[in-house]
Chains A and B, each alone.
Chain A
Amino acid sequence: MPDYLLTTSPQMAKRHKRHTRFQWYGRIAIAVSISFMLLMFVAIFTRGAGAFQKTMIGVDVEFAESVIDPQGTRAEMTLKQGNYKPLILAGLQEVIPGATDRRARNDLYKLVSGGAAFDLGERVAAKPNMIGTTQRVWIAASSEVDLYIKGKIDGDSDEAVRRLKDQDIAWINQLKNEGRVKKKFNRVFFTSGDSRAPEMAGILSAALGSFFSLLVCFLIAFPLGILTAVYLEEYARKTRLTNLIEVNINNLAAVPSIVFGLLGLAVFLNFFNLPRSTPLVGGMVLALMTLPTIIIASRSILRSIPQSTRDAAMGLGASKTQTTFHHVVPLAMPGMLTGTILGMARALGETAPLLMIGMVAFIVDVPKGITDVATSLPVQIFLWADSPEKGFVELTSAAIMVLLVFLVLMNLFAVYLRRRLERRW
C-alpha cells in the first residue's frame, strides 16, 4: 500500500490529531457546563428538600369550655378567637413539669409555632364537638425546633450564637423520647401565602401571582406580537420606517428588564392609575418585555416558510390575507407558539420589573384575580432570601425548586405543542 494512504502518514497523522483534539475540547466544554448545572441542582435540592417536610409536636390538649367558649354560644368567631395559648402550654407542661416560672413558660411555648393557637382555633371551629374532651393534637413546631429536628442546628455549638438554648434542646429531646415529635408533609407550604414565621410561610400566593401575571402577559403579548410579526413580514413594504421599527424592536429585546419596570411605574401606575402591586400591571409590564422576543421569533419563523407556499396560494387566486391566514400563519404557528412560551418562561423568572411596580410587597392573602395584590415566585424567592430567619433558607431553595418545575413544565409544553401541531403532516 502506498504510504500516503495510511493513517500513520505524517500529514494524515497531523490531521487526525487535530480532529481528536477538537473533539476533546468540545467534550470538556460540555462536561464543564453540565457539572455546573448539576452543582446548582444538587445545591438547591439538598438545601430545599427539607422544606417539604415539617416538624409537628404532639400535645395533649384539654379543650376546656370555660377557656374557649365560656358563654357556650359555639359561634364560629368565638371558637376561632378563643384563648388557646394556655391550653397548649398546659399540655406541654404535662410533659415538662419543671417549666413553671414566667420565663420558662415563655421559652416552653416558643417551641411551638407562633401560629399554633390560631391553627387550633380553626380546627375547633371546624369540629366544635372537640370541646370538653382531651385529645392529643399535633401542633406545628417553631422554625427553630424544626431546623434542630432536621439536623440543621448543631446542639454542641456555642450556646450564645444560637437561638435554641441548651434548655430548649433538652425539652425537645424529652418530647422526642416520649414520641411526641414527628415530621409530616408540609402542606402549608403549598396552601398558604407568605408569613413572617418560616413554618407558616407558603408559596401559593406567589405562584398564583405569577400565574395571573403570565396570563395577562400572554393575553396581551401573544396577539400583539403575532399580529406585528405577520404585518411586518407579510404586508409591510420595506421602507425607511419599517427599517427603523425593525431596528427598534431588536433594540427593545436587549433593554434591561428593570427599564420596563420603570416604564410600567411611570405609565401604568402614575399616569393611568392602575392598581399597584397587582398581576394586572405586572402582566402588562412583562408583556412589554416579552413582546420584542415574540416578534423577533415569529418573524424568523415566518421568513422560514418557503415562498413556494405563498406562490401556490397566490397562483390560485387567493388574496394576500387568505394566503397569509390559510397557509402561512398555520404553518408558522407551532414555531410562533414555541417562541411565545420561551419568552413567557423568561418572563416567569423576571424579578426586577416587578419590584418597580410594587409586586414586592409582603402578601399573606392568596390572590383571587388579576386585580388583587400579589407577588410572584421570583420576587418571593428574593424576599425569602433576604429574610434573617434561618428557616427561610430552606424555603428559598424550595421556592426555587417550584419555580424550576414551572419553567421545565412550560418548556415541555412548548415541545409538546410543536410536536403536536407539526405531526399533522
Chain B
Amino acid sequence: MTNDTAAQSEALAPIMTARGVDVFYGKKQAIKKVSLDIPENQITALIGPSGCGKSTFLRCFNRMNDTIESCRVTGDIQFAGQDIYDQKVDVVALRSRIGMVFQKANPFPKSIFDNVAYGPRIHSLSESKEHLEDIVITSLRRAGLYDEVSDRLNEPGTSLSGGQQQRLCIARAIAVDPQIILMDEPCSALDPIATAIIENLMDSMKEKYTIVIVTHSMQQAARVSQQTAFFHLGELVESGDTETIFTNPAQERTQNYISGRIG
C-alpha cells in the first residue's frame, strides 16, 4: 500500500514544465502566457476548439516551431530541469528525447524496416546489424504492429493502411527510445476501429513513456488521458485531473465546451 502511494507520487512528478509561454506568428500572438506541468508516465490531453493554439503549444515541447520562420517562442519550458530554449541546448538531441507523431501519418517512402531503423541509425543507437533488427522488432511490437507486418518488413511503409501507417509512425518514434511522445491529433484521419487500437496502445505505452496528445475528440481525451488541459483562443483556460475537468469543471468556458456550446 505504501509502495503504491510512493509510486504514484513519483509518477506525478512533472517531467516537463511550461511557465508563461507566449508564441507569436509574426505579429499575431497564438499562445498567451500558458503555464502547464506534464506529469511523468501519464497521458496529458490538450483539448479545445480549432485554432485555439493547442497544436502550437504542443510543438513548443520539441521545438518543432523552430522550423516555422515567422514563429517566436518566449517564456520558460523545462525538460528534466533544463530550459529547452537555452542557446546551449542542441535541438537534435532534444528531439531524440521527445518524439512526435503527427496528425497525418507520414511514413518515409522507404521500407517498413527502414522507417523504424532511420532514427536509431542517425543517432547511432545500434552496435550491430542484429542489434538494429532487435530495436526495430521491439519497437514494432510495442506499437502493436509487428504481428501484422512481420512477413513484409521490406515492403514500403506507404503500402500499409492508414491506421497501420500511424502505428508505424509510433514505432518509428519509439525506436529512438524517447522519454516523451507528443501526439498531434494522431487519430483524426482514422476510422473508429483503428482509433480504438491506437488508444489501447497509448494506454499500454504510458508505463514506459510520457504522452502528450492533442485531440479534437473530447471522448478520446476522456478515454485515454489522466490529465486534461483546455485551451481557448490561445489561453489555457483550465487544466487538471481528467475526471474533474469532464465532470466538474471550474470554469464556465470549459463547461460550455465540453457540453458542446462553444467550439
Q: Smallest CB–CB gap between A231 and chain B, Å?
A: 15
Chain A residues in contact with chain B, CB under 8 A? Answer: 237-238, 306, 308-319, 322, 326-327, 331, 424-425
Q: Is the CB of B122 within 8 A of A315?
A: no
Type the 1/0 row for B148-160, where 1 means its CB is closer than 8 Å to any CB of A: 0000000010100
Q: What is the bound-complex CA distance between A425 and B106, given in angstroms?
A: 14
12 inter-chain pairs at a CB distance below 8 angstroms, sorted by A residue, are A237-B69, A312-B106, A312-B107, A312-B108, A312-B169, A313-B108, A315-B101, A315-B102, A316-B96, A317-B122, A326-B122, A424-B109
A308: contacting residue among B94, B102, B173, B176, CB under 8 A: B102
B156 touches A425 (CB 8 A): yes
Cβ-defined partner of A317 (8 Å) among B67, B95, B102: B95
Which residues of A lie under 8 Å from residue B173 when comparing CB positions? 315-316
Interface residues of B in 40-72 (CB under 8 A from A): 62, 64, 67, 69
Task: Give the contact-size bracket for chain B.
Answer: 20 to 34
- Beyond A308-B102, A316-B118, A317-B119, 13 additional pairs, beta carbon < 8 A: A312-B106, A312-B172, A313-B108, A313-B118, A315-B62, A315-B99, A315-B173, A316-B95, A316-B119, A317-B176, A327-B108, A331-B109, A425-B109
B100 in the interface (beta carbon within 8 A): yes
Asked if B93 CB lies within 8 Å of chain A CBs, one says: yes
A327 to B176, CA, bound (A): 18
Contact A316 B64 (CB under 8 A): no
Q: Are A314 and B95 in contact (CB under 8 A)?
A: yes
* Complex contact A317–B93 (CB within 8 A): yes
Interface centre among A237, A308, A317, A327 (most CB of B within 10 A): A317
Binary A-proximity of B62-100 (CB < 8 A = 1, otherwise 0): 101001010000000000000000000000111110011
Assembly CA distance A237 to B169 (angstroms): 29
A331 to B106, CA, bound (A): 14
Known: A314-B64, A315-B173. A425 touches B158 (CB 8 A): yes
> When chains A and B are docked, how far (Å) is the Cα of A221 from the Cα of B69?
30
Alpha-carbon separation in the docked complex, A63 to B56 (Å)? 94
Q: Tell me, yes or no, whether B206 is within 8 Å of chain A by CB.
A: no
Interface centre among B107, B118, B172 (most CB of A within 10 A): B118
User: If the complex has contacts A315-B62, A317-B92, are A238 and B104 also in contact, measured as CB distance less than 8 A?
Assistant: no
CA distance A313 to B106 in the complex (A): 10
